[in-house]
Amino acid sequence: MDAVWFEWTAFILFGVVGLIVSGHALLYKREARSALLWLLVVWFLPVLGAVLYLLIGINRLQRRAQRLRDATALPPAAEQIAGEDQTELLADDDLGGLARLVQQVTGQPLLAGNHLTPLVNGVQAYPAMLDAIAQARHSIALATYIFDRDGIGDQFVHALLAAQQRGVSIRILIDDVYVRLVRGSAFKFLKAAGLNVVSFNPPVLPARLHAANLRNHRKLLIVDGQIGFTGGMNIHRPYWRPENPATAFRDLHFHVRGPVVRHMVETFTDDWYFTTGERLDTRFWGEEGPQPAGPALARGIEAGPDETLDRLRWVFLGALNVARQSVRIWTPYFVPDQSLLAALSAAALRGVEVDILTPVENNHPLVQWAGRAHYWQVLEHGAHIWERPGPFDHSKLMVVDSRWVCIGSANWDARSLRLNFEFNLEVYDTALAQHLEALFQAARREATLVTAAQLRERPLPIRLRDGAARLFSPML
C-alpha cells in the first residue's frame, strides 16, 4: 500500500512540475521551435528535463540586469551621452529608415564627428593597440573573450603592467568560460600581478549553471576615455605568428576616435558594474570626453540576452530591407535563422547583389556543417556564397550599398544574436564603406563560389550530417 501511495504521489508531483515548466516555456519562449523542443525534453525526461529547464532554459539575466539598473538609477543613454542625435540628418536619405530603426531599438543617438581606421589582421591591430596602451595617461578599460598568457598575450600583459606602474588606472574584463576552461588564459597571472581583472558572469553551481552558455563576446579597448578599439579580434596566439605570418588567423579590427567612443564607455561601464558592483565614473574615465575626429556618423549597438535581446537581428533585418544595390556579409559563422534567411532571399529577389563570404575551413566543424545545411535556402533565390581557403578567417563585416557599415563582435548565428553579449557599431561613411568594400572584394577573389549543384552532388552521408547539425542551430 505504501509503495502504491508513493508511486501515485510521485506521478502527480512530476505531472504538476511538468505542467508548470511547460506553461513557462509556452508563455516565455520567443520561438515556437524552442518551446516545442523544451516540451519534448520535459515530458520525455520527466525529472531530468524539468531540472535542465530550470538550470539553463530560463533567462535570468534579463531580470538581474533590470534590478541592477533600477537599484542604481542609471540615467538614460540619451542623457548620459553628450552630443545631439543626428538621425534626422538622414531623413531624406535612402538609409533614413534604417537610421530610425536602429535609434528605436537601441535608444542611442547617432553621433557625428567620428573616424574609424580598419586594422587588417593581428599584424596591424596588435601593434596599434599596444601603442595606445603605452601612451595611456589616465585609464585603460579592456574587455575580451579570449586573453592568452603566451604569445601576443605576453606583450599585452607587460604593456598593462608597465601602464599600471606609471599610475594608469586599469580595469580588465575576461569572459568566465574562457577563464575556466582554457589553461593558457592570462587571468590568474594578471590577478597575481595586482591588476584589477575580473571574469564576467561566473556560474555558481547549481543556481547559475546556465551562465556558462551566456558569454561576453565583446572586444573593447578604451584608453583615457578618448580612443577605442573594437571589432572581432581576441588577444589570441593564432592571430600573431611572426615566424610564419601566412598561417596566422585573419580578422578585422578598428581604431575608433570621436564621440561614439562614449557608447563604448557606456557599454564597458555597464558590464563592469554588472560583474563587480563598482560604478566607473569621471574619476576613472576623465572629465573630458572624446573629441570630434572625422566625418562619420556612428552609433554603438549593445546587444545581449538581457533587456537588449534581438537588437542585432533587427539591425540586420533593417539593413537587408533598405538595400538597393549590394549587400556584403563577411562572417566566420553563417547559421542564420528563418527571418534572416527570408530577408536575404527577398533582397536577392529584388535584384540586390547579395554576397556572403565565409571560411572554407571552420574552427568549429559543427557550426560549419549547420551553416552549409542552410546554404540552399539563399542560393536558390540568387544570393551568392563564397568560401575562402587558407588560414581561418574570423572577420565580421556587413556593408550595404557601399554606404553603410556594421562592424563589431557579432556573428551571423544564434549564439551571437540570442546568447552572447555583443558590441557592434553602425557607421554612415561612404569613404569607409568603399574602403571596406574593396577589402571584401580582394578577399572574395581568393574564394570559391558555392553552387546549388555542388551541394546536391555531395555524398548522402555528408548531407545527412549537415542536416542533423542544423537541428542544433538555436544553440550554436
pLDDT one digit per residue (tens) for the chain, 476 residues: 556 665 566 556 666 666 776 676 666 666 666 677 667 776 666 766 666 666 655 654 454 444 444 444 333 333 344 467 888 878 778 899 999 999 999 999 999 999 999 999 999 999 999 999 999 999 999 999 999 998 999 999 999 999 999 999 999 999 887 777 777 788 898 999 999 999 886 654 444 444 555 688 899 999 999 999 999 999 999 999 988 988 999 999 999 999 999 999 999 999 999 889 999 988 999 888 899 999 999 999 999 876 566 899 999 999 999 999 999 999 999 999 889 999 999 999 999 999 999 999 887 878 888 888 889 889 999 999 999 999 999 999 999 999 999 999 999 988 788 878 999 999 999 999 999 999 999 999 999 999 989 888 888 888 888 778 777 666 55
In sequence order, what are the residues at sequence separation of 6 or more whose Cβ sits closer than 8 angstroms to the Cβ of residue 194? 164
- Residues 253-308 pLDDT 10s: 999 999 999 999 999 999 999 889 999 988 999 888 899 999 999 999 999 876 56
C-alpha cell at 255: 581604431
* Distance from C-alpha of 463 to C-alpha of 55, rounded to nearest angstrom: 33
Kindly give the interhelix angle for 60-72 and 261-276, rounded to the nearest 10 degrees. 100
* Distance from C-alpha of 431 to C-alpha of 43, rounded to nearest angstrom: 56
Instruction: State how beta strands 227-231 and 139-144 pair.
Output: unpaired
* Distance from C-alpha of 202 to C-alpha of 196, rounded to nearest angstrom: 16
Spacing of C-alpha 202 from chain mean position: 19
* Distance from C-alpha of 37 to C-alpha of 89, rounded to nearest angstrom: 46
- Residues 102-117 pLDDT 10s: 999 999 999 999 999 9
pTM: 0.85
* Distance from C-alpha of 331 to C-alpha of 321, rounded to nearest angstrom: 19
Residue 333: what pLDDT? 92
C-alpha separations of 312 from 71, 189, 308, 421 in Å: 27, 35, 9, 11
Instruction: State how beta strands 296-303 and 422-428 pair.
Output: antiparallel
Please, where are the H alpha helices in 239-364? 261-276, 282-285, 311-322, 338-349
